[in-house]
Amino acid sequence: MVLVLFSICLVASAAVAYVNKITTEPIEQAKQQKVVAALKAVLPEFDQTSEATTVDGFEGVYYSATLGGEIVGYAFESTSPNGFNGNVKLMVGFAADGTIVNIEVLEQAETPGLGTNMTVVDNPLLLSFKGKQAASVNMTVKKDGGDVDALTAATISSRAYADAVARAYNAFKSVTTGEINAYTSATQLKQQEGEAKCDGTACGGCTKEEAKECGNGPHGKCGENCKHK
Amino acid sequence: MGKNLSTFTSGLVKNNPTFVLVLGMCPTLATTSSAANGMGMGAATMFVLILSNIVISLIKNLIPDKVRIPAYIVVIASFVTVVQLLMQAYLPDLYNTLGVFIPLIVVNCIILGRAEAFASKNGVWASALDGAGIGLGFTLSLTLIGMVREVLGNGQIFGVDLWQGGGALIFVLAPGAFIVLGYLMILFRKLTAKTK
């Protein structure tokens, strides 16, 4: 009995190992092709790209593209963990002068028909960035006071998208200026602001008692919340 | 030959895994957000089902009764891993969409059910046909559900726009899967009841 089961497992694992061996290379190639295709889509014309490189303060990797030995742009593989359903991974391409050339979605698991519209050609999210000088864009959605047009009924996905672009831009600054800037996402900033204000002391136009009531929640815009209560 | 043919066609109509046996609902509901996805899932399942049916009917006399379920699962899991690797290598886009549901074919009750109910009692040829029939039934059902959801939800079919402006989004989301499945099941029952 044990012997039969053992031999079945043995044969099965040998077969799986064999398939694994013959597919390793095509799988690698398929992944490479995807990266190359994304690079072509997001960068200005180039004849060579660097290997994947890392920079401090940025979790992903980036590629610098050259044309005739001169750097024409950078592409950042940027991931935001704040998607509606996990990570949103983008390839963000910058020209050397900081213009966002194009953005390609590499990975996302957003709601089909809502958040997935971020992969559609010329969607409002992409158009908020495409062709613009990165420094001139406030990279949060309009609902949060930024310049980014969110997708209809997909604000969380849109926030994650903007967050990923902001991360890429932050890394772009680090790469081009040589100064390392730690990245703080808009959500984190908001939280910090909330915590700083709503620690149970008088703040934002509300009394100490009211401030206690609204607590340290992540939406801790103390002034607003307290007025409601 | 007549018996073989009926083995094959019973999987399509009389024993249709989705609309009659109501097996494998998890991938059915989750992956049919578009026709192409449903078809991909169905094809992957069919591939595993045919091969596991063949292998299990080949080794059915070697397996002691007490360990038959673990043995089946090892066989099925191996084929699923093979499918997963092949898909990753040659159909990376489909692999990304189907994601976690490929490994979950292992626990798809259609496959284990057919191994237990059919392949372990019948010859190789009949088991292969049964796998093909049930697999094709599953694929067609999933494609059909996917098509209906895609048309109603996005106004597209196999990614081609039928009209502009999309549709009722709910059909692409999870509740739409239940609604579409329910109505298709009613329709299927009605049609098959008439032919009896």
pLDDT-based confidence at residue A208 (cuts at 50, 70, 90): low
Complex confidence, ipTM:
0.74
User: With pLDDT > 90 as the criterion, what percentage of chain A qualifies?
Assistant: 9
pTM of the model: 0.71
Q: Are A75 and A42 in contact (CB under 8 A)?
A: yes
- Average confidence (pLDDT) over B18-30: 85
Query: Of A181 and B36, which is predicted with more confidence?
Result: B36
Instruction: Calculate how close chain A gets to B195, using CA atoms only, in Å.
Output: 38
Test A113 with B166 for CB contact under 8 angstroms. yes
DSSP three-state, residue B112: helix
Contacts of A12 in chain B (CB under 8 A): 74-75, 77-78
Distance CA A63, CA A74 (A): 6
Question: What's the confidence (pLDDT) of residue A191?
Answer: 60
Average pLDDT in chain B: 86
- Average confidence (pLDDT) over B42-66: 90
Query: Is pLDDT above 60 for B40?
Result: yes
Contacts of A23 in chain B (CB under 8 A): 85-86, 88-89
Contacts of A20 in chain B (CB under 8 A): 81, 85
What's the angle, vertex CA A58, arms to CA A52 and CA A63, rounded to 5?
Answer: 25
- Average confidence (pLDDT) over A29-51: 84
Q: Does A36 touch chain B (CB under 8 A)?
A: no
Looking at chain B from residue 41 to 100, which residues have their Cβ under 8 Å from any Cβ of chain A?
Answer: 59, 62-64, 66-67, 70-71, 74-75, 77-78, 81-82, 85-86, 88-90, 92, 96, 99
Average pLDDT in chain A: 79
To the nearest 10 degrees (0 to 180), the angle between helices A2-42 and B68-90 is 20
Interface contacts (A, B; CB < 8 Å): 63
pLDDT tens-digit map of A139-149: 888 888 888 88
Q: Does A109 touch chain B (CB under 8 A)?
A: yes
- Average confidence (pLDDT) over A1-17: 90
Beta-bridged to residue A13, according to DSSP, are none
Test A12 with B173 for CB contact under 8 angstroms. no
Distance CA B157, CA A135 (A): 41
Among all residues of chain A, which has the CA nearest to that of B75? A12
Query: Is pLDDT above 50 for A223?
Result: no
Contacts of A8 in chain B (CB under 8 A): 59, 63, 71, 74-75
pLDDT-based confidence at residue A188 (cuts at 50, 70, 90): low
Q: Are A155 and A121 in contact (CB under 8 A)?
A: no
Test A112 with B33 for CB contact under 8 angstroms. yes
CB A1: neighbour CB atoms within 10 A?
A: 10
CA dihedral over A30, A34, A35, A40, signed as positive or negative = positive
Q: Are A96 and A71 in contact (CB under 8 A)?
A: yes
Query: Is pLDDT above 80 for B140?
Result: yes
Start-end of H helices in B91-173: 92-98, 109-114, 124-154
pLDDT-based confidence at residue B46 (cuts at 50, 70, 90): very high
What is the layout of strands, in order, in the sheet containing A62-67? A48-49, A62-67, A70-83, A86-95, A100-107
Query: Is pLDDT above 70 for A202?
Result: no
- Average confidence (pLDDT) over B10-17: 82
Q: Are A101 and A43 in contact (CB under 8 A)?
A: yes
Contacts of B85 in chain A (CB under 8 A): 19-20, 23, 27
pLDDT tens-digit map of B142-151: 999 999 998 8
From B92, B169, B173, residue closest to A34, measured CB to CB: B92
Instruction: Calculate how close chain B gets to A170, using CA atoms only, in Å.
Output: 29
Instruction: Calculate how close chain B gets to A10, using CA atoms only, in Å.
Output: 10
Q: Which of B51, B85, B98 to mutate to test the interface with A (most CBs of A within 10 A)?
A: B85
